[in-house]
Amino acid sequence: MSETLLDIRGLKTHFHTFGGLVKAVDGVSFQVDKGEVVGLVGESGGGKSVIGFSILRLIDPPGRIEAGEIIFDGEDLTKKSEEELRTVRGGEIAMVFQDPMTSLNPVYTIGRQMDEMLQLHTDLDASARRKRCIRMLEDVGISEAESRLDAYPHQFSGGMRQRVVIAIALLAGSRLIIADEPTTALDVTVQSQILKLMRRQIAERGAAMILVTHDLAIVSEMADRVVVLYCGKVVERGRTEDVISHPAHPYTRGLLDSIPRIADRQRRLQQIPGMVPDIRKLGEGCSFRDRCSRAQPLCAEKTPELLPVRHSLDAACHYPLNEAEA
């Protein structure tokens, strides 16, 4: 039986802007088991990145976590003090961002930034730390690791920097890695190298990962389970193969149909009509209804709840697709 590492229940992160209340994350619940990769997908404005930041409580005003529990290894992170959280950030839970330059300090060498991590989270002496850093750089595929320790971030290419960031994330022995669009800034051949590296390292260390991405293809290759977000709410979640092959929510179906398929080329792509509504003006009802071909009067009256549909799938839809339609 797999053990739950992270359990997010009813998370609400809202931003109080002058333009109105932005419910960026509005009642999101999902779990991450040990050793598992969970993909958070959705288009811009879905709230997927804000969830990642909320887990580490890196939400600055005007944003605020309004409600919900974030239970990591049995303890609620929303109730911890700033002091306690500091050991969690970068230690138990590490983050990898889209742009590696934002997470590396340009004025310190790679070695110093890696060492800092070990100083904070381990009791090793200087020479043991250095050895560990070198081995980690080798593990993430950086050659001549010893001399590279004295290099600065700008001396590395984008792909190499992302390897360094991953090395730092793995160094402290993090049990959960939140990767926010980790390969979006990279070229495809480098992307595939990095994704393989992350998958291998996570499997070897028995860590878990939350992979935040807009790219369903990456999720389908990497994730064990998928959570699909739309306008701050979970619209569908389930095992990856169920979500990709027979989704229950019309939005997920629409997203999948929008991707040009090499195996099955159509003259025209299926498109989701319209665009994402203004998140400040969402009222009662399903937020996808204006773009949905299956919408009925009920969809405007009542917000659908996330309920089990079939197999591993939960969907928030009054009229979910059955297996044959999907």
Partner 1 sequence: MTTPVLEVRNLVKTFHVGGGLFERLRFEKGRFSAPQKILRAVNGVSLSIAPGEVMALVGESGCGKSTVAKTIARIYEPTSGEIRIDGEDVSHLASRQMRPVRRKLQMIFQDPYASLDPRQRVKDIVIEPRRAQAGRAMSRKSLEDEAVALLARVGLNAEQANRYPHQFSGGQRQRIGIARALSVRPKLIIADEPVSALDVSIQAQILNLMMDLRDEFGLSYLFVSHDLSVVHHIADRIGVMYLGFMVETASRDQLFSRPKHPYTKALLSAAPTIDKALRKPEIEIAGEVPSALRLPQGCCFRTRCPFAFDRCAVERPALRQQPDGSSVACHLSESTA
Smallest distance, partner 1 to C-beta of residue 157, A: 5
Smallest distance, partner 1 to C-beta of residue 272, A: 4
267 or 281: whose CB is closer to partner 1? 267
Are the beta carbons of 118 and 130 closer than 8 angstroms? no
List of residues contacting partner 1 (CB under 8 A): 43-44, 157, 159-160, 187-193, 195, 214-218, 220-221, 244, 254-265, 267-273, 275-276
- E-assigned strand segments in the chain: 4-17, 20-33, 37-41, 63-72, 75-76, 93-96, 176-180, 208-213, 225-230, 233-239, 307-310, 313-315
4 or 192: whose CB is closer to partner 1? 192
Closest CA to 316 of 225, 236, 227: 236
Smallest distance, partner 1 to C-beta of residue 211, A: 12
Smallest distance, partner 1 to C-beta of residue 221, A: 5
Cα separation, 297 vs 215, in Å, equals: 32
85 or 151: whose CB is closer to partner 1? 151
1 or 263: whose CB is closer to partner 1? 263
Backbone angles phi, psi at 223, to 5 degrees: -95, 150
Cα separation, 129 vs 321, in Å, equals: 54
Smallest distance, partner 1 to C-beta of residue 265, A: 7
52 or 159: whose CB is closer to partner 1? 159
Smallest distance, partner 1 to C-beta of residue 59, A: 24
Q: What angle do CA 309, 315, 320 make, to 5 degrees?
A: 70
Q: Is 274 helix (H, G, I), strand (E, B) or coil?
A: coil
Cα separation, 91 vs 173, in Å, equals: 7
Are the beta carbons of 326 and 301 closer than 8 angstroms? no
44 or 127: whose CB is closer to partner 1? 44
